[in-house]
Chains A and B, each alone.
Chain A
Amino acid sequence: MSYTLIVAEVRRGVFEERNLDSLGLGTLLGGEAVLLVPDGAYEAADKLVDAVVKIKAPEEVYLNPMNMGKILEAVFAARGKPDHILFTQSSSGMEAAAYAGLFGMPVITDVSGYDSQAGVFLKSYYSDKVFGQFKAAGAPAILTVRSGSFREFAAEKAAAAAAEAMEGAPSVEARTFVEYVEEEKADIDITKAEFLLSVGRGIGNQDEVAGYEELAGALKAVLSGSRPVIDKLWLPKARQVGTSGKTVKPKVYLAMGISGAFQHIAGMKDSDCIIAVNKDPGAPIFQYAHYGIIGDIHKVRDKLKELAKG
């Protein structure tokens, strides 16, 4: 058996937590797990792999798929070709298919399950309504791994990972990193937020809004609201979620004090994960939520703030 090459996602000095899912799948695949990382000072999960190959290339070079193609070539030359090459399903992993084209390898993206018996990978179709079981017709196969799918399988190894350094290749002209651009704080576009904290009429009065703003800040969420909140001018129109406001599809939609009127639901029902907090167990929003908390929203808000800051 060959090895599994796990290409770590490291950005702005952070070894992204979703790498754990790649590591988990690596463990399930069995065999040697080799973690590829860029140059830089950061905490890598080296207890969860057999070997760590540190490329002497800074992040911006490493994360550039035009350069990564060359880096991968160098790894294959040094270690032979792996059975699988794993990337995170992320903005970075969304470019991994380029290596499939470059090297003529099979590619399966957004892998969220693996059946070792059948040797198939589970891939979502139609927004998770059905899943396709896929087999790669050859090795190496490139996989991008869905966040949250495999991290519980990442297992600590008996021995520490063997550390290896590798020369980076010169970066190519065809594509170059210019700079990072931070999100503009003015003129919020809630449709672009990954995480929305949405408040409804249940918050009671305008004075409570500040507390929810603080919570949004602590959780790094963007504050939005349902129509009654905007009609009362507690939040600006740009923050309105619903048929006559904006339609949003964030990764997480945390609805507090929102009952779930039809027109509101229409604006957020395709969110990846809907969490509803409401004191009314019969609130329609619970029919659309993935997770629910029945309780006093102000108390939940304050406790979350406390835990988030701590």
Chain B
Amino acid sequence: MLEQAATRVLTCIQCGKCTGSCPESGRTPFNVRMLVRKKQFQSAVDEALPWYCTSCGACTIRCPRDVKPSEVVIELRAKLVEDGDIPVALQKALENTFVQKNPWGRSRNKRADWAQKLDFEVPHVSETESKRLLFVCCIQAYDPRCMVIPVNVARLFKAGGLEFGILGEQEACCGNEIRRIGEAGLFEELEEENKAAFEEYGVKEIVALSPHCMNALKKEYGDTGIKVVHYTELLAPLVEEGAIKLPGSFGKKVIYHDPCFLGKQNGVFDEPRSILSAVPGLTLLEFSRAREVSLCCEGGGGRMFFEVEATYQRNAEVRVLDAVDKGAEIIATACPFCVMTLEDPATEKGLAVKELSEILTEVL
């Protein structure tokens, strides 16, 4: 692994496309092209720098030489992690994940409490025929603001006749952010635990609520033979075909924000849009920076768990101002981290942020 990485950076021609697409460029001291350069020469890197990366993946996607600069950042972080020299807030997130299998340190025993808000039972995936697993995600299992998402999606799936089950307390953090923080050992433990559960219960399909979870489960858990999708990929055909009826009306101007892990990294652009287009009364707007070039909200790369040193205008605020410019009343998105990072600045400017399932639930 290390040898591959070492030779990979040597192919970098320092073209600067990476830094050109980086959401942190120009507003923070972070310069990914420079970090790759330093890696080429094994030079010392200011230890505050690698932590700015939001793991949006734009650099890796655009690199003409397959250098994978986002992986270079993870390698730099991994060294800091092994030295033990990482921001205290990150330590807490990692230690919490080790003990309670979620970075918020909430009780593992309460991971399925969200399901109590439903008026029907959600079965354990082992009790289902389809062995379709709804992978809930840590922030959605515990954060009151995000808990509505699994509740909504459960209701929508039921309305659409889609069978599913959950792992409940046996679900451990997917590890997507953990790997990006550079804690490879902890990521492996989480991966092992989750995969063992998938195998034990004969899981055939995983539907992820968070694009981050989807990314890890689909691309970083090796060859499990299990199909992994984001929930919008299952909902879109149901909504288009009318299997889920939307009798209500949602007469608002809604602008759709592509989450990095759903959009540019995993190519899911159309399904969320087709869902929104099917909502009666909804006017769908587009950002100028949409789809592959969607502006990263800065919720990834572990940035939900710690503060970087620099003070600057956050991308989330820039995004909200863009939305205002386009005349939007609501910013819709399909990722809980985007919801969390966009909501504060949006509320200040008089806009609301809604996850897709929230809009659907209102017209159900």
Residues of A within 8 A of B (CB): 227-228, 231, 233, 237, 240, 243-247, 261-263, 266, 284
The answer to whether B305 touches A243 (Cβ under 8 A) is yes
Q: Given known contacts A231-B314, A244-B89, is B305 in contact with A262 (CB within 8 Å)? A: no
Q: In angstroms, how far is the closest chain B Cβ from the Cβ of A267?
A: 9
By a CB distance below 8 angstroms, the chain B residues around A233 are 311
The answer to whether B304 touches A262 (Cβ under 8 A) is no
The answer to whether A284 touches B144 (Cβ under 8 A) is yes
Given contacts A244-B303, A244-B306, A247-B92, 5 further A-B contacts (CB under 8 A): A243-B104, A262-B104, A263-B340, A266-B104, A284-B144
Q: How far is the CA of A266 from the CA of B305 in the complex (A)?
A: 11
7 A-B pairs with the lowest CB-CB distances in the bound complex, closest first: A262-B143, A244-B307, A244-B306, A244-B89, A266-B104, A243-B305, A244-B305
B329 at the interface (CB under 8 A from A): no
Q: How far is the CA of A2 from the CA of B305 in the complex (A)?
A: 57
B contacts with A, residue count (CB < 8 A): 19
By a CB distance below 8 angstroms, the chain B residues around A228 are 344
The answer to whether B105 touches A266 (Cβ under 8 A) is yes
By a CB distance below 8 angstroms, the chain B residues around A243 are 89, 92-93, 104, 304-305
The answer to whether B89 touches A245 (Cβ under 8 A) is yes
By a CB distance below 8 angstroms, the chain B residues around A227 are 344
Listed by A's residue number, 9 A-B pairs whose Cβ atoms lie within 8 Å are A227-B344, A231-B344, A233-B311, A237-B307, A243-B304, A262-B142, A262-B143, A263-B340, A284-B144
B145 at the interface (CB under 8 A from A): yes
Q: In angstroms, how far is the closest chain A Cβ from the Cβ of B46?
A: 18
Q: How far is the CA of A125 from the CA of B10 in the complex (A)?
A: 57
Q: How far is the CA of A263 from the CA of B344 in the complex (A)?
A: 12
By a CB distance below 8 angstroms, the chain A residues around B304 are 243-244, 263
Which of A233, A240, A246, A263 has the most C-beta atoms of chain B within 10 angstroms of its own C-beta?
A: A263
Q: In angstroms, how far is the closest chain B Cβ from the Cβ of A240?
A: 7
- Give the nearest-CB partner of B104 in chain A: A266
The answer to whether B105 touches A245 (Cβ under 8 A) is no
By a CB distance below 8 angstroms, the chain B residues around A245 are 89, 307
Q: How far is the CA of A239 from the CA of B58 in the complex (A)?
A: 33
By a CB distance below 8 angstroms, the chain B residues around A247 are 89, 92
By a CB distance below 8 angstroms, the chain A residues around B311 are 233, 237
Q: Given known contacts A244-B89, A245-B89, A247-B92, is B307 in contact with A261 (CB within 8 Å)? A: no
Select which of A237, A244, A262, A266 is within 8 A of B145 by beta carbon: A262
Select which of B88, B105, B307, B314 is within 8 A of A240 by beta carbon: B307
Q: How far is the CA of A243 from the CA of B145 in the complex (A)?
A: 15
- Give the nearest-CB partner of A237 in chain B: B307
- Give the nearest-CB partner of A247 in chain B: B92
By a CB distance below 8 angstroms, the chain B residues around A246 are 88-89
